[in-house]
Amino acid sequence: MSAPESASASASYWPLTFDAVRDCDLSYFNDNHSADMVRDAMRALLRASELPEIKDKEINVWKYLSEYSPPSGRGFQFSAGDNDVVSLVQYQMETGHSGCSMGWTMRQIEFIAKNGVPAHREVFLESRRRVRREQCDCHDV
Protein backbone atom coordinates (compact mmCIF):
# COMPACT_ATOMS: atom_id res chain seq x y z
CA MET A 1 0.00 0.00 0.00
CA SER A 2 1.31 3.48 -0.73
CA ALA A 3 0.75 6.75 1.06
CA PRO A 4 -2.33 8.72 -0.01
CA GLU A 5 -1.88 11.70 -2.33
CA SER A 6 -4.91 13.86 -1.47
CA ALA A 7 -5.68 15.55 1.84
CA SER A 8 -9.08 13.85 2.12
CA ALA A 9 -7.56 10.40 1.53
CA SER A 10 -4.85 11.19 4.07
CA ALA A 11 -7.44 12.05 6.72
CA SER A 12 -8.95 8.56 6.61
CA TYR A 13 -5.52 6.94 6.38
CA TRP A 14 -3.73 8.83 9.17
CA PRO A 15 -5.03 11.10 11.98
CA LEU A 16 -4.03 14.61 10.86
CA THR A 17 -5.24 16.68 13.82
CA PHE A 18 -5.15 16.37 17.59
CA ASP A 19 -8.93 15.90 17.55
CA ALA A 20 -8.56 13.07 15.02
CA VAL A 21 -5.92 11.44 17.23
CA ARG A 22 -8.23 11.73 20.24
CA ASP A 23 -11.13 10.25 18.26
CA CYS A 24 -9.07 7.53 16.55
CA ASP A 25 -10.54 4.14 17.49
CA LEU A 26 -7.68 2.12 18.94
CA SER A 27 -9.96 -0.17 20.94
CA TYR A 28 -8.77 -3.09 18.80
CA PHE A 29 -5.58 -3.12 20.88
CA ASN A 30 -7.75 -4.42 23.72
CA ASP A 31 -5.10 -2.89 25.99
CA ASN A 32 -5.28 0.72 27.17
CA HIS A 33 -1.53 1.04 27.75
CA SER A 34 -0.66 0.04 24.16
CA ALA A 35 -3.37 2.32 22.77
CA ASP A 36 -2.08 5.19 24.96
CA MET A 37 1.50 4.73 23.68
CA VAL A 38 0.39 4.74 20.04
CA ARG A 39 -1.93 7.71 20.58
CA ASP A 40 0.92 9.59 22.31
CA ALA A 41 3.19 8.84 19.34
CA MET A 42 0.53 10.16 16.95
CA ARG A 43 0.33 13.38 18.96
CA ALA A 44 4.15 13.55 19.04
CA LEU A 45 4.20 13.25 15.27
CA LEU A 46 1.76 16.17 14.96
CA ARG A 47 3.79 18.26 17.43
CA ALA A 48 6.99 17.47 15.51
CA SER A 49 5.24 18.62 12.31
CA GLU A 50 4.92 22.10 13.82
CA LEU A 51 8.60 22.46 14.74
CA PRO A 52 10.49 25.06 12.66
CA GLU A 53 13.05 22.51 11.44
CA ILE A 54 10.21 20.42 9.97
CA LYS A 55 7.81 23.16 8.96
CA ASP A 56 10.48 25.23 7.18
CA LYS A 57 11.38 22.22 5.02
CA GLU A 58 7.66 21.51 4.37
CA ILE A 59 8.03 17.91 5.50
CA ASN A 60 4.82 15.90 5.86
CA VAL A 61 5.94 13.68 8.76
CA TRP A 62 3.36 10.95 8.10
CA LYS A 63 4.45 10.74 4.45
CA TYR A 64 8.12 10.90 5.45
CA LEU A 65 7.68 7.97 7.84
CA SER A 66 5.78 6.05 5.16
CA GLU A 67 9.00 6.06 3.13
CA TYR A 68 11.44 5.55 6.03
CA SER A 69 12.81 2.37 7.57
CA PRO A 70 15.34 2.32 10.41
CA PRO A 71 18.82 0.91 9.75
CA SER A 72 18.92 -2.84 9.20
CA GLY A 73 19.81 -4.79 12.31
CA ARG A 74 19.31 -1.80 14.61
CA GLY A 75 15.65 -0.87 14.35
CA PHE A 76 14.20 2.14 16.12
CA GLN A 77 15.47 1.04 19.52
CA PHE A 78 19.16 1.23 18.62
CA SER A 79 19.12 3.97 15.99
CA ALA A 80 18.23 6.96 18.17
CA GLY A 81 19.78 10.08 16.71
CA ASP A 82 20.44 8.56 13.26
CA ASN A 83 17.54 10.40 11.64
CA ASP A 84 16.54 13.96 12.55
CA VAL A 85 12.83 13.58 11.76
CA VAL A 86 12.46 10.31 13.69
CA SER A 87 14.39 11.76 16.64
CA LEU A 88 12.19 14.86 16.67
CA VAL A 89 9.07 12.67 16.80
CA GLN A 90 10.54 10.58 19.61
CA TYR A 91 11.53 13.69 21.61
CA GLN A 92 7.93 14.96 21.40
CA MET A 93 6.49 11.89 23.13
CA GLU A 94 5.11 12.48 26.60
CA THR A 95 4.83 8.82 27.67
CA GLY A 96 7.96 7.55 29.37
CA HIS A 97 9.51 4.73 27.39
CA SER A 98 12.06 1.98 27.83
CA GLY A 99 14.07 1.19 24.73
CA CYS A 100 11.76 -1.75 24.09
CA SER A 101 8.51 0.22 24.35
CA MET A 102 9.94 3.02 22.17
CA GLY A 103 10.92 0.48 19.53
CA TRP A 104 7.50 -1.22 19.68
CA THR A 105 5.64 2.10 19.52
CA MET A 106 7.69 3.37 16.59
CA ARG A 107 7.09 0.07 14.73
CA GLN A 108 3.33 0.62 15.18
CA ILE A 109 3.67 4.18 13.86
CA GLU A 110 5.83 2.94 10.97
CA PHE A 111 3.14 0.40 10.01
CA ILE A 112 0.39 3.03 10.26
CA ALA A 113 2.45 5.50 8.21
CA LYS A 114 3.01 2.90 5.48
CA ASN A 115 -0.39 1.21 5.51
CA GLY A 116 -2.89 3.43 7.35
CA VAL A 117 -4.93 3.03 10.52
CA PRO A 118 -7.59 0.83 8.85
CA ALA A 119 -4.95 -1.71 7.75
CA HIS A 120 -3.32 -1.61 11.21
CA ARG A 121 -6.68 -2.38 12.80
CA GLU A 122 -7.31 -5.25 10.36
CA VAL A 123 -3.87 -6.82 10.99
CA PHE A 124 -4.48 -6.79 14.75
CA LEU A 125 -7.97 -8.21 14.43
CA GLU A 126 -6.91 -10.88 11.92
CA SER A 127 -4.07 -11.94 14.22
CA ARG A 128 -6.54 -12.26 17.10
CA ARG A 129 -8.91 -14.33 14.90
CA ARG A 130 -6.04 -16.59 13.81
CA VAL A 131 -4.98 -17.22 17.42
CA ARG A 132 -8.56 -18.10 18.37
CA ARG A 133 -8.85 -20.50 15.41
CA GLU A 134 -5.57 -22.15 16.38
CA GLN A 135 -6.72 -22.51 19.98
CA CYS A 136 -9.98 -24.09 18.83
CA ASP A 137 -8.09 -26.45 16.49
CA CYS A 138 -5.95 -27.63 19.41
CA HIS A 139 -9.02 -28.52 21.44
CA ASP A 140 -10.52 -30.51 18.54
CA VAL A 141 -7.63 -32.99 18.44
pLDDT digits (tens, 9 = 90+) for 35-66: 999 999 999 999 999 999 999 999 999 999 99
Q: What is the predicted pLDDT for the residue at 59? A: 94
14 DSSP assignment: S
Q: What is the predicted pLDDT for the residue at 118? A: 93
Spatial neighbors of 96 by CB under 8 A, at least 6 apart, are: none
Q: What is the predicted pLDDT for the residue at 131? A: 81
Cα(34)–Cα(27) distance, integer angstroms: 10
Q: Is the pLDDT of residue 141 over 70?
A: no
What is the reported pTM?
Answer: 0.82
Q: Is 1 contained in some domain? A: no
Instruction: Give me the domain span that covers residue 76.
Output: 8-140
Q: Is 43 contained in some domain? A: yes
Q: Is 44 contained in some domain? A: yes
Q: Is 115 contained in some domain? A: yes
Q: How many domains does the chain have?
A: 1
